[in-house]
Amino acid sequence: MTSPSQLANDTHQLLKHWRESVPDDRLAHLVRDVARAQMRALQQRLAPFGVSFGHWTFLRILWIRDGLTQKELSDLAGVMEPTTFSAVKAMETMGLIERRQREGNRKNMHVFLTPAGRALEKKLVPLAEEVNHISMRGLSDKAAATLRKSLLSMIENLAAEESGGLGDEGE
Amino acid sequence: MTSPSQLANDTHQLLKHWRESVPDDRLAHLVRDVARAQMRALQQRLAPFGVSFGHWTFLRILWIRDGLTQKELSDLAGVMEPTTFSAVKAMETMGLIERRQREGNRKNMHVFLTPAGRALEKKLVPLAEEVNHISMRGLSDKAAATLRKSLLSMIENLAAEESGGLGDEGE
């Protein structure tokens, strides 16, 4: 397990990279580092509940849409099926989810939250909101709106590029 | 393995989330989705070289600082040591790195790039630059500078919060 002090050290390491070592490094890399810093901050807050960041990503999906197959869960989480499989097994042991077939369809196993898994939403979502709130400190509403717009355009650009196909891009 | 069309589908799914399903979702989540979209775009470009995104993250570190221990590599990549261990083993089999002890220090194994591993830098870094370039399309220099500043302040806020201490860390 990673101790809180290691985590702290790492976010400061990230910061040092941008302040001192490579201040003009690629923006794509900066986005990734923000995501990592947020992940660490959330990880620290989830740990007392025995929930890993991996479990959190699956729970977050199930709170919105319960009863997914493991394949659907993998696609939505953006991970490989074996990763989902082992997380689902662990969360089942923890009593957060259960796997069962739907009536009339014996082909797929579906993942359902238990009452305990569902109840965690009220406890854990505020932790993510706290991390979000902390990271946005000092940013005006206008700056936050601009940031949101720029980030969204990045996803749009990457989605458009994928549709257009790799290879001859015509640029 | 994830096919390119699955990947494409996923970035469009990300986009749909922000355009239709939950447009006012947390900014922390948006940052993470941009990082994911970028990762997918890079993954697609690395695949023809037989390099996974995981390998890329380690290579990128070694190109800057060769001869790290596996512990240092884990810390810099922000992953657990077993993850580093299996990636290092795979990259050794691929002939990209080799592990050896430093003279006069038989305690630690250090990870060194082979000439083949080093040569990949010239081939792979342009792929990351391409993804960066694509994601920034349509953003003015001013918007890019503002984006960079906002993202950096997010890391600063999270680092400050960690220093300030959750509970009493004092270590």
Res A9: pLDDT: 52
pLDDT level of residue A13 (50, 70, 90 thresholds): confident
| Residue A145 neighbours by CB under 8 Å, 6+ apart | none
Answer yes or no: are the C-beta atoms of B96 and B114 closer than 8 Å.
yes
Q: Are B154 and B31 in contact (CB under 8 A)?
A: yes
Question: What pLDDT is attached to residue A165?
Answer: 52
Alpha carbon of A29: minimum distance to chain B alpha carbons (Å) = 8
Whole-number pLDDT of residue B130 = 94
Considering only alpha carbons, which residue of chain A is nearest residue B3?
Answer: A80
ipTM metric:
0.80
DSSP state of B21: I
Q: DSSP E strands: which ranges in chain B?
A: 68-69, 97-102, 105-113
Average pLDDT rounded to a whole number, residues A83-97: 94
Q: Which of the pair, A162 or A22, is modelled with greater confidence? A: A162
Each residue's pLDDT tens digit, A114-127: 999 999 999 999 99
pTM of the model: 0.78
3-state DSSP assignment of residue B99: strand
**How much is the pLDDT for A126?**
95
B4 to chain A: closest CA residue: A162
- From first to last of the 171 residues of chain B, give the pLDDT tens digit: 343 334 445 787 778 877 776 667 788 889 989 998 999 999 999 999 999 988 999 999 999 889 999 999 988 887 778 888 999 999 999 999 999 988 777 778 899 999 999 999 999 999 999 999 999 999 999 999 999 999 999 999 999 988 765 444 433
Burial-class residue B125 by CB neighbours within 10 Å (0-12, 13-18, 19+). middle
Residue among A75, A136, A161 whose CB faces B134 most closely:
A161
Of A34, A148, A163, the CB nearest to B155: A34
Token pair, residue A142, equals 């206008």
> Which of B49, B73, B154, B157 to probe the A interface (max A CBs under 10 A)?
B154
Partner A contacted by B16 (CB < 8 A): no
Q: Does A162 touch chain B (CB under 8 A)?
A: yes
- Does residue A22 register a pLDDT over 60? yes
Q: Residue B88: its pLDDT value, please?
A: 95
Specify whether domain A51-156 bears CATH 3.60.15.10.
no
Q: Which residues of B touch A12 (CB under 8 A)?
A: 159, 162-163
Within 24-53 of B, beta carbons closer than 8 Å to A belong to: 26-41, 44-45
pLDDT per residue over A25-68, tens digit each? 788 889 989 998 999 899 999 999 999 988 999 999 999 899 99
Q: What are the chain B neighbours of A14 within 8 Å (beta carbons)?
A: 155, 159
How many Å apart are CA A137 and CA B79, to the nearest integer?
A: 27
Q: How does residue A164 score in pLDDT terms, banded at 50, 70 and 90?
A: low
Contact A78/B at CB under 8 A: yes
In this structure, the number of other CB atoms found within 10 A of the CB of residue A101 comes to 11
Cβ neighbours of A44 in B, within 8 Å: 162, 166
| Segment B99-103 long-range contacts (CB within 8 Å, at least 24 positions apart) | B102/B67
Distance, CA of B68 to CA of B113 (rounded, Å): 10
